[in-house]
Structure 1
């Protein structure tokens, strides 16, 4: 929710800054986009914290930064304080973006994983709706204070939640792993639990073989590890898939629309409209669409959802671009603002049902357990770079080639990213994470006879 509130807050904050302060346009766009840069830094730090101290500790740190960021916005209104606050929020979002999908993927059952991962998108939309709705009634400082309270509630929830069973397994804490797994899922999925423990027991046994090497050998082994890891099929194929899915998430239009809502609506619908009512209607539609996405991902295959929603998205991009071009050149024989409104609704519907939930779902399903932090970091680095470029460049694209030109470019980017992702992505619906990893590997982790030998050796050690 706080992630959505950070993204939606820019569309409330920027118009008010232009009216009530002497902050120039360049500074205003930096206030809107700086969280994309700090998101990159948070992404780099997240794997280190997650793998060393656990998913829960990283989550606590992330929620604390988000709360502090909102409090700074609520009580300090200068450009420097706004930049600092948005920087802290971006850092928090970077950690959460790398960790949230991984954590949910590790903690929930395969039969519920898709729904729970897609609920991230619903929560983001709820956060955006709250900000936009409050923006029609109270000041942006008061909105920040409400957001700080929500972020604090988030922190309390995390403090009451358990650590991921997968983290305990990678650290050799198998009893804690069992307790956490049973707390989260009960006792109906013991086969997955035992397989998770056995695989990590084998890995821990192999690690002890090298524990007596010198520091020089350890450094060399780390470099070899990095090179070897990135050359593995179960690593580079999911990373390539997620780079393009994060590209889809970024360029399908929801983030651009949230940041420059008024700029886009003024061009597509005109300025003589009831802007707050239009915004609330769009937010309500996106909430309904996000809720519908829970049903869609529960019933439909991932690749079917991807190709269907991305086709709708590209068609809407091109339709809006053509409509705006004809409208600005007075070439329409008939025009009504409902035409543009319907196109915007369908466009955002495609992002809420497809691009947004699918990115979260696939990110929680395809990365290998042993290298999950590294893979997530690479994906979010790409996402944060795209987010900064997107938000920073959108206003200049609108000014130079118009909304219709920018939307045509965005449509082309979506076509490319969706084609690559659909080609490489295996079907992951309702499958155990270890099975998905085995498909990327092209072979099972341990054949049955080898597993018996390894278990005997582990018992001896």
Structure 2
């Protein structure tokens, strides 16, 4: 959570690429501290570094992608981060029982090292360069990103014009996010960050083995199936993002998770009614697979939206706030999930389904479609609403 709350400021001060370099170094040190731990304190330090680094990386990485990728493919590339998360979960579920934990920690350094090296070969975000007044570097970065033969003059001018109009009234304090002109983008970004964790995703993921065991499922088969089913659905989300847009995909994702939660709740209700174990276990199994399939399908969508909706001059402050709220509520849900599940296994999932239904209404009411729009065009949407 600490990493999330300062992520935007770090990215503003040392740049998007510089922030990612810093994070990868922290993550490598954290994994090595765990891998070669000589006592419990080494493990604690390693976990703290990993948590802090992940908090910074989560938001900075999507900012970098959103600010560098062309609008027609921006959504899919931003969503690809969730695909990598699902792949990592599948790897850990598959090998966690056969590879010693300290070897797994060493394996964790590999993607960090690859990204650390890769960052030497990519340019800084042109929009960040515009913010700090580095015009020549902005044009060089944009030319590298769009290709040597591409005319970047119009895009560079749009970035500069938007940057100049935004910074006529600079903003740096959290309370200024309450201004009317930022009401809708802040409501969308912060609202999604607050509500989505209460759909129970992280809590269900942490207690998946206990849920399957309580339902009478084969835990090994159920958890392995759950981890691998996420990968194709994540790929599907990436492929469909820029074809159908953020708004319809998010509603499909929420509807699927809502239905999955209802099935799980019905399964446990059947168990409470003392109906055949096979029936309740099968219902929970199917519901859990559906829940996590749609969780993977759209889990990266909120971060795509957060990276797009905030204007450049409040991106660091509002984005950090949204990331912090997301992590805080995810932690609260993970903490209370076990108590809620013990209170009523069926009731817990019915509550999660109700929250997903409310989220569908929130998206219908609040979220505009941003597919194939430049960040400057999205900013213009909020300006038009104010006037």
TM, length-normalised to structure 1: 0.77
- CA-CA distance at 1:150 after TM superposition: 2.5
User: Which of 303, 309, 321 is the aligned partner of 1:360?
Assistant: 303
Q: Gapped runs of 5+ residues in structure 1?
A: 1-39, 208-220, 446-461
**Structure-2 change in CA distance of 1:203 and 1:433 (3 Å):** closer
Q: How do residues 135-174 of structure 1 correspond to structure 2 at under 5 angstroms?
A: 135-174=96-135
2:366 alignment partner in structure 1: 424
User: Which of 327, 330, 333 is the aligned partner of 1:390?
Assistant: 333
CA distance in 1 between partners of 2:318 and 2:229 (Å): 33
Secondary structure at the residue paired with 1:106? Answer: helix
CA distance in 1 between partners of 2:96 and 2:83 (Å): 20
- CA-CA distance at 1:42 after TM superposition: 0.8
- The Cα offsets for residues 364-394 of structure 1, whole Å up to 9 and x where unpaired, read as 2111012111110110111011011012222
- CA-CA distance at 1:434 after TM superposition: 0.7
2:11 alignment partner in structure 1: 50
1:286 alignment partner in structure 2: 230
Q: How do residues 166-315 of structure 1 correspond to structure 2 at under 5 angstroms?
A: 166-186=127-147, 187-201=150-164, 227-233=175-181, 235-270=182-217, 273=218, 275-315=219-259
TM, length-normalised to structure 2: 0.91
Q: Gapped runs of 5+ residues in structure 2?
A: none
CA distance in 1 between partners of 2:316 and 2:80 (Å): 22
CA distance in 1 between partners of 2:126 and 2:318 (Å): 19
- CA-CA distance at 1:173 after TM superposition: 0.5
- CA-CA distance at 1:78 after TM superposition: 4.6
**Structure-2 change in CA distance of 1:310 and 1:201 (3 Å):** closer
- CA-CA distance at 1:349 after TM superposition: 1.5
The answer to whether the 8 A contact 1:248-1:418 is kept is no
1:409 alignment partner in structure 2: 351
User: Which of 267, 270, 276 is the aligned partner of 1:326?
Assistant: 270
Secondary structure at the residue paired with 1:277? Answer: helix
CA distance in 1 between partners of 2:322 and 2:215 (Å): 33
Q: How do residues 83-94 of structure 1 correspond to structure 2 at under 5 angstroms?
A: 83-94=44-55
**Structure-2 change in CA distance of 1:149 and 1:295 (3 Å):** closer
The answer to whether the 8 A contact 2:203-2:335 is kept is no
CA distance in 2 between partners of 1:226 and 1:311 (Å): 33
CA distance in 2 between partners of 1:172 and 1:358 (Å): 31
Say which is worse superposed, 142-151 or 81-90, in terms of deviation.
Answer: 81-90
- Determine if the alignment matches structure 1 residue 434 to structure 2 residue 376: yes
Q: What is the Cα-based RMSD across aligned positions, in Å?
A: 2.5
CA distance in 2 between partners of 1:105 and 1:128 (Å): 24
The answer to whether the 8 A contact 2:8-2:317 is kept is yes
2:29 alignment partner in structure 1: 68
- CA-CA distance at 1:281 after TM superposition: 2.0
CA distance in 1 between partners of 2:155 and 2:275 (Å): 62
- Determine if the alignment matches structure 1 residue 110 to structure 2 residue 71: yes
Q: Across the two proteins, how many residue pairs are aligned to each other?
A: 385
Greater Rg by CA? 1
